[in-house]
Chain A
């Protein structure tokens, strides 16, 4: 009986032959927590009578969600994380280092075949590297810190076969928004997803991360891809570890296989207030926007900044639009600084903020006012998500955000690419 990618990874890490719907206790390779979830995990760790972390080399805490701290309450939680990290010998990424889902892959400690838990729902991002990584809560994180293990119910897998090549001006963000619109926000609940086909294999790693990042927006436990030359070329930059890629067997059993041809895909928009409320950009074109956000764990990577800058070069952001840019990590920030991308964005009118999650999660750095519209490269547009329940969040690709920032209304980016 063949196995899916996730069944193989869970088999290897549990010592059992894992099949869908089994429950296994598996060894984890890496554990991550951020500042929204780690303080409660530290409390749970203490409640478990935890003494030492199972392996400090396999743990990272990241201060990214309210970074730098906007108030004394947050500062106290950050202090708790710093003290815990110091006393247990685990690595802490402090303010300015970047978003967890960028700094963890850049650490080189996760890759093909890894099993990762992270106390952040978008931990599914590392599926683009052929890792089974999944979001957990604080108490599960604490259990991992104590024991190096977690229990998993082995999920079934939905396979997305994406054929064709994305047209000019259409990005992996548009593809994943389209897929979420197709299967809906709970279409993959409790399932793993595998993304495959030539439309995936011809994408860069940056573009693949965007797709795996948003698997959770269809409810999925993981957003897996196979490893290929693109994966290993990317890993060579960051890691000396020899990872073993995991492929699905040809006779693996899937809950469902869905096929798409992306050749005619248009830029997509998720309208307020759910991520699956998706339409082609033409349906909402001319909707006025007050703020544009480029960044987040979905689309704050170098390729995203480059794509936005290609449109904004020698152009200005509309005077009625605030344009907030948050590179996903310090490394990306520095590269974008060196290659002139940040200069282009700032000259166009961008307000560049510290690498982190603030604008996306509504803690600081760009809270909209009542009745305002925001176009963002983030992964969620829930009511109140950006800190004001009377604002309206639209999601699009980096070029759609850049084009909309220029015109002051939601705009098809292909208007600027001709």
Chain B
């Protein structure tokens, strides 16, 4: 699976309240509606800047804070193809895998806002086309690859009737 798009760059410790504020997440299960407020407290106009397939790039500890699965879902439904960060908070990372949002750990200091990227999930590499540079990405553990390949944890359960890892 290869994604191509433009980078939106954020800093360290992008927390789940920034990704989708509590005041929105409790109102609806309509993720397309929630997606309109993605990253709003960091950049009020962010949703309107996204072109389908773009990447969110953070620093370390991306997704820290709440267990709200609305966070990866809002990013996914805003048509962001993947999130790249130096490191992810544990619950966000699990939620992203469970809901089928690709997350890539790599040295994001090598990526600037507006850079064009090509991300090969299977191959594990990130190519910064603007800078002509290949950035190695940390491979996903086999259990997570299995869940992602099944389309997330819900399809995995539907397929096997429980865990088959």
Which residues from chain A sit less than 8 Å from chain B, CB to CB? 23, 25, 35-37, 39-40, 43-44, 47-50, 65-66, 71, 73-74, 77, 118-121, 123, 135-140, 142-143, 146-147, 149, 151, 153, 185-186, 189-190, 219, 221, 274, 361-363, 367, 380, 382-385, 387, 389
Contact = CB atoms under 8 A, between A and B. Distances in A.
- A-B pairs, top 6 by smallest CB distance, nearest first, are A137-B95, A186-B61, A384-B41, A48-B157, A73-B27, A139-B98
A47 B100 CA distance: 14
Given A121-B67, A382-B65, A48 B163 contact: no
A74 B41 contact: no
B157 A143 contact: yes
Contact of B61 (A23, A25, A39, A219): A219
Given A151-B165, A189-B89, A362-B23, A389 B41 contact: yes
Contacts of A389: 21, 40-41
B69 A37 contact: yes
Interface stretch (B1-9, B12-20, B110-118): B12-20
B162 A274 contact: no
Contacts of B90: 189-190, 219, 221
Contact of B21 (A35, A66, A186, A362): A362
A111 B87 CA distance: 32
B99 interface: yes
Interface string B27-56: 111000000000011100000000000000
B12 to A, nearest CB: 8
B13 A74 contact: no
A25 B13 contact: no
Contacts of A135: 67, 91
Given A37-B67, A40-B69, A382-B17, A387 B26 contact: no
Contacts of A367: 23
A333 B107 CA distance: 49
B13 A120 contact: no
Nearest to B97: A139
Interface string B70-102: 100100000000000001011100110011000
Contacts of A146: 157, 162
B95 A186 contact: no
Contacts of A143: 153, 157, 163
Contacts of B64: 185-186, 189, 219
15 contacts: A23-B143, A40-B29, A50-B157, A65-B22, A135-B91, A137-B95, A138-B69, A140-B94, A143-B153, A186-B89, A274-B13, A362-B17, A382-B65, A383-B18, A389-B40
B60 interface: yes
Q: Find the residue from A23, A143, A147, A382 having the highest chain B CB count within 10 A.
A: A382
Nearest to B70: A40
A281 B15 CA distance: 25
Interface string B136-165: 000001010000000011110110011101
